[in-house]
Amino acid sequence: MSDYQTSDPFRVRQAPKRASYDRETVHAILDAGYVAHVAFTTEAGPVALPMFYVRDGESVLVHGSRKSRFMRHLSGGKPVCLTVTHVDGLVLARSAFHHSMNYRSVMAHGVPEVVAEEGEKTRVLDLFTRKVREGRPYDIRPTNAQEAKATTVLRLPLLEVAAKIRTGGPIDDAEDMDLPVWAGVIPMQVTFGEPVRDIAPVAAE
């Protein structure tokens, strides 16, 4: 895959050797996550919303209530910054200054578009269900017209995109190498537990 042609204002400046603009790398980081933080500015000040998302080719989709003031704001052609981060390890160094984390992250800038066409909206809403569990749409009642109408779906094209990744152990100062302290990496990962059946269903209000 080719690299994203990210323009200069949106390229990584701090520790640029950790940056990647490779499409396959960006896609893998996005596909591994569930929550993106979508940041934007309003008349009241800056806002950053944690939102469930799914990648659809060269775009990222988010959705929310049509009545939400934030979804109405985002539907108005306003620029946003969307970020996704995975923490892969805690990096314990020999000094406080060099403690760090291993991570994979993606940052995307752009203007989201409303998915309005009925057939396309149905298709992408199905992607959210598949993100929760592949094959799930075949087992459940599909989204009805009223539910679809109550939902706003936004598509952010992946144009101004950068990934940033840190791997490996601590990077210490030479004079600290002989300090009698443990140094290394404590790995972290997301794991799924044993499913818990819903034995006391609660009806939606």
Question: What is the per-residue pLDDT for 201?
Answer: 82
Question: Which residues of the chain are under the pLDDT cut of 50?
Answer: none
Where residue 38 sits, what CATH number does that domain have?
2.30.110.10
82 within some domain: yes
26/22 Cα distance (integer angstroms): 6
- pLDDT tens digits along 141-186: 999 999 999 999 999 999 999 999 999 999 999 999 999 999 999 9
Residue 146 CA: distances (Å) to CA of 107, 126, 143: 34, 15, 8
Question: What is the per-residue pLDDT for 204?
Answer: 81
175 within some domain: no
Question: What is the per-residue pLDDT for 130?
Answer: 95
Domain count for the chain, please give it: 1
Question: What is the per-residue pLDDT for 193?
Answer: 96
Question: What is the per-residue pLDDT for 107?
Answer: 98
182 within some domain: no
57 within some domain: yes
73 within some domain: yes
Containing structural domain, residue 14: 8-167
For β-strands 59-65 and 151-157, DSSP reports them as antiparallel
3 within some domain: no
Question: What is the per-residue pLDDT for 59?
Answer: 98
Note the pTM of the prediction, 2 decimals: 0.93
Question: What is the per-residue pLDDT for 203?
Answer: 84
